[in-house]
Chain A
Amino acid sequence: MHRRFLLVVAVIAAACTPSGPEGGAGRLADAREAAQRTFVEPGQLDEFYLFYSGGHSGQVYVAGVPSMRHIATIPVFAPYPATGYGFDEESKAMLGEYTWGDVHHPAMSKTAGDYDGRWLFVNDNANNRLARIDLRDFKTHQILGPIPNSSGNHGSAFVTENTEYALVASRFSIPIPRGTYAPTSRYATDYRGVLTGIRIDSTTGEMSLGWQIATPPFDWDLAATGREISRDWAVWSSYNSERATGRLEVTASQRDRDYIVFVNWRMAAAAAAAGKGRMIGGVRVLEPREIPGAMWLIPMGKSPHGADFSPDGRYVVGSGKLAPIATVYDFEKFLAAVQANDTVGNEDGIPVLRYESVKVAEVPVGLGPLHTQFDDQGYAYTSLFVESAVAKWKLGPFDGHDSALVVAKIPVHFSIGHLVVAHGDTRHPVGRYLVAMNKLSKGRHLNVGPSQPESSQLIDITGAGMTMLYEAYTEPEPHFAQLVRADLLTPIEVYPKEENTNPNAIWAATDAAIVRTGTTVRIRMFAIRSYFSPGEIEVQQGDSVIIHITNGEQERDMLHGIGIAGYNINVVVDPGETKTIAFRATKPGVWPFYCTNFCSAMHQEMQGYLLIKPRGGGAAAGGM
């Protein structure tokens, strides 16, 4: 009797347990409609460019939306033999001693708070660098850094309203200048966080060191730049206001609130220009007390992460990963609190404003809120990492009914990090699509083994709710992205011959030359369908060989590559482009070179020989 009862209970319990979490399968409500809305006919173009960061792959990926097709990879911080990046002297010089970077937050250049389609700035979280991609040719043109004093360039790159500055912040505090030693027992006093303004030339996009502010050793996290009323201001979230070391997941999670900082970058720039602060590591570093009124801390929900300005610059939405709310700060109330000096304390002299005086809402968006984007209909979208969902909520009215603001939620798969709405961090968002960039895909794809891709999901945000449309997989690992109207960009398709200013460019096979100066052999090489000129290069073992190779084509998609067997060289030259290859001919023998980028029916014949005579004459033994 008793045993039978137990059995019945067990059967009932089993019957009550669902086979998976509610809504876990994530099937589309109307697959046919979703397919129609994302299908881009072969030969037809997507409406948006999606520039997404490639995380520790060091690269930037370009996809089309709504199709989500990967179109191109823009190598930035890591060599990429597919385009020859990191093999020619020009890109090697940009990469310097590093062969990887950690790209998190691409920022398109802006004019009057809107994308202007000129440049894309991306950060390297690992080695404290910033890179500029020119969207005229989709190539990396500058890598600035390592930026002095700053360590862990995470809160970056975010550009000001008219691309005056790209902003940088240190995620990891260190004793400065970099290279200084201090034990972590002196963390609270000897380690400094650093906020940096990188000046941007308005015509060339060239980046240069502006100014820095040395801060308490908080871990600066994410930034956003103001617009209109807040145009002179930037904000950064921070964690570890405990100034702790060791196991930060515990030691930096003791306070209920950390801080968001409001920084008047224009005042900082003016103070630096006036000669305030002192030079440390080659850059002018300001102490907060030297720029009174330019820095204000405000408490922010536990373990802060995202900080985002509303399109009109009026509100800042901040989220703490361990508090289930999105905190809305009102910039007007911020200004009033500053005016009234409504402070509750300070951190190393930086005033802390009263939370209640600046905050206008705590919207209960859900678990693990990270980042917020905006549309043009007055809605905000917050990613929920822990909940694996996106919350859609109304940006006001903020009359105390905060929970009524949340209007919809959609599950994503899984553990979303950033999300991006088209033009969602500008003055004029385009409320059509949202891409959720998820950290985990958990087998939602054909099984490719343990190293699983990240998933990105396309969500329609027109109308009252949100509709899942499509998903795609990306190289590790997307953080933030920029989703940009395609008609904003007009890239070139060949480098016009007339604009090639390289003194070693040549435009006819007959101009090809091999010139020896001492032990340096300089070759001006011409590549065109379907041959190299010269097709044979003879040098002595030990010579320094410099090859300037010009692609003489002016036709779209006529790329030529030159791969040199045994010498670890592969450079790809676009039509009208000149690149330089330099190496020492250490290994004697005969080394074939060939066109690596398929060009024509005679591509296979596009080849030649690098003949390296052994030192001291005579036939050398085999090379490899």
Chain B
Amino acid sequence: MRLTEWLNAELSPRARVTVLGAGLLLIAAAALPLWKMTMFAAMFPEGLRLHIFSWKIVGGANGADLQGINILNHYIGMREIRAADFVEMKFIPFAFGVFFLLGARAALFARVRDLIDLTVLFFYFGLFSFATFAYRMYSYGHQLAPEAPIKVAPFTPPIFGHQHIANFDVYSFPAPGTYLVAVYGLLLVVVLLFEARRQRVLGR
């Protein structure tokens, strides 16, 4: 089968069910934190934590850590971290919904084209979101108020991994929500590959 023909080909029932089912992972991901940052220092042996959801930021210790981190950050002139400032926290949950609907469309009309659209859009979304997250981290660490009591060289907090900043050890890693999103993306690719093989678009 030629590639252009395949775009209009029909998805197998198994592929349709998988795509529809995978959409549920996104719904679940919206309820789970996507990223987690943990900060340790001598007087914070239990750590200060930020749980970053697709639509909110929750501090550890029943929320208290967000204020605690902001109080510490104000000494170096860092802007207050507030969910309201994250435009991502509006578009990511919206995008999750869009992807779920696109998946439902692909499942309903069973067209390979719809699944390809979904997959391409999803990966674009993923990279874009990660990039804005990285830029936001960069901005927090670089747009420091000049009148801050403690002057520090501009820095980028860790986006992935560990970094030592002043008296803090900061760890930043994806959280369960991101794992679900990643599994979702993986499932889309796997379904496409299986479909391509089944319909002999790709080599044998």
A residues bordering B, Cβ < 8 Å?
494, 496, 528-529, 552-556, 601-602, 605
Does B71 lie within 8 Å of A553, measured CB to CB? yes
Cβ of B149 within 8 Å of any chain A Cβ, yes or no, is yes
Residues A601 and B62 in contact in the complex (CB < 8 Å), given A554-B67, A555-B68: no
> 5 other contacts beyond A553-B68, A554-B63, with CB at 8 A cut-off?
A496-B62, A528-B71, A529-B74, A529-B75, A552-B67
Closest Cβ of chain A to B184, distance in Å, is 36
Of A496, A528, A555, A602, most buried by chain B (CB within 10 Å of CB) is A555
Q: Chain B residues with Cβ under 8 A from A602's Cβ?
A: 75, 149
Q: How far is the CA of A556 from the CA of B74 in the complex (A)?
A: 18
Bound CA–CA A338/B92 (angstroms) = 80
| Interchain nearest-CB distance for B149 vs A (Å) | 6
Q: Which residues between 47 and 75 of chain B lie within 8 Å of chain A, taking CB atoms? A: 61-65, 67-68, 71, 74-75
A555 touching B75 by the CB < 8 A rule? Answer: no
Nearest Cβ distance between residue A505 and chain B, in whole angstroms?
Answer: 15
Measured CA separation A601–B75 after assembly (Å)? 9
Chain A residues with Cβ under 8 A from B67's Cβ? 552-555
A552 to B67, CA, bound (A): 9
Residue of B68, B74, B149, B150 touching A554 (CB-CB under 8 A): B68
A169, chain B: closest CB distance, angstroms: 45
| One of A528, A529, A555 near B64 (C-beta < 8 A) | A555
Complex: chain A residue closest to B45, CB-CB: A43
Nearest-CB distance from B42 to chain A (Å)? 12
Contact with A along B3-37 (1 / 0, CB 8 A): 00000000000000000000000000000000000
Closest to B43 in A: A557
Interface residue total, chain B, C-beta cutoff 8 A = 12
Chain B residues 73-91 with CB under 8 Å of chain A are 74-75
A552 nearest in chain B by CB position: B67
Task: Sample 20 A-B pairs with CB under 8 A, ordered by A number.
Answer: A496-B62, A528-B71, A529-B71, A529-B74, A529-B75, A553-B67, A553-B71, A554-B61, A554-B63, A554-B64, A554-B67, A555-B61, A555-B64, A555-B65, A555-B68, A555-B71, A556-B61, A601-B150, A602-B149, A605-B149
Give Cα A605–Cα B63 distance, bound, in whole angstroms: 28
Q: Separation in Å of the B160 CB from the closest CB of chain A?
A: 27
| Residues from chain A with Cβ under 8 Å of B68 in the complex | 553-555
Bound complex: CA of A605 vs CA of B65, how far in Å?
A: 24
Q: State the CA gap A332–B197 with chains docked (Å).
A: 91
Nearest CB of chain B from residue A532's CB, rounded to whole Å: 15
Chain B residue numbers with a CB within 8 Å of A528 are: 71
Contact of A494 among B64, B71, B74, B150 (CB under 8 A): B64
Q: Which chain B residues border A494 with CB–CB below 8 Å?
A: 64
Task: Report the bound CA distance from A546 to B65 in whole Å.
Answer: 31
**Closest Cβ of chain B: how far from A509's Cβ, in Å?**
11
Q: How close is A616's CB to chain B, nearest CB, in angstroms? A: 40
Bound-state CA distance A601–B71 (Å) is 12
Specify which chain B residues have a CB less than 8 angstroms from the CB of A553 in the assembled complex: 67-68, 71
Look across to chain A and name the residue whose beta carbon is closest to the beta carbon of B46.
A556
Closest to A43 in B: B45
Smallest CB-CB separation from B65: which chain A residue? A555
**Least distance between B9 CB and chain A CB atoms (Å):** 57
- What residues of A have a CB within 8 angstroms of the CB of B63 in the complex? 554
Q: Which residues on B sit within 8 Å (CB–CB) of A555?
A: 61, 64-65, 67-68, 71
- 9 closest A-B pairs by beta carbon, nearest first, are A554-B64, A555-B68, A529-B71, A554-B67, A555-B64, A602-B149, A528-B71, A494-B64, A602-B75
Question: How close is A603's CB to chain B, nearest CB, in angstroms?
Answer: 12
Q: How far does the Cβ of A555 sit from chain B's closest Cβ, in whole Å? A: 4
- Residue numbers in A under 8 Å from B149 (CB-CB): 602, 605
Residues of A within 8 A of B65 (CB): 555
**How far is the CB of B53 from the nearest CB of chain A, in Å?**
20
A556 to B75, CA, bound (A): 19
Contacts of A554 in B (CB 8 A): 61, 63-64, 67-68
**CA A230 to CA B67, docked complex, whole Å:** 54
Closest to A494 in B: B64
Nearest CB in chain A: distance from B204 CB, A: 63
CB B71 to nearest CB in A, in angstroms, measures 5
Nearest to B71 among chain A residues (CB) is A529
**Chain A residues whose C-beta falls within 8 Å of the C-beta of B71 in the assembled complex:** 528-529, 553, 555
Bound-complex Cα distance A496 to B61 (A): 11
For B74, what are the chain A residues with a Cβ–Cβ distance below 8 Å?
529
Residues of the B chain whose Cβ atoms lie less than 8 Å from the Cβ of A605: 149
Nearest-CB residue, chain B, relative to A507: B67
The answer for the CA separation of A528 and B64 in the assembled complex, in Å, is: 13
A494 to B67, CA, bound (A): 13
B46 to chain A, nearest CB (A): 9
Give chain A nearest CB distance to B177 CB in angstroms: 25
Docked complex Cα distance between A472 and B53 (Å):
52
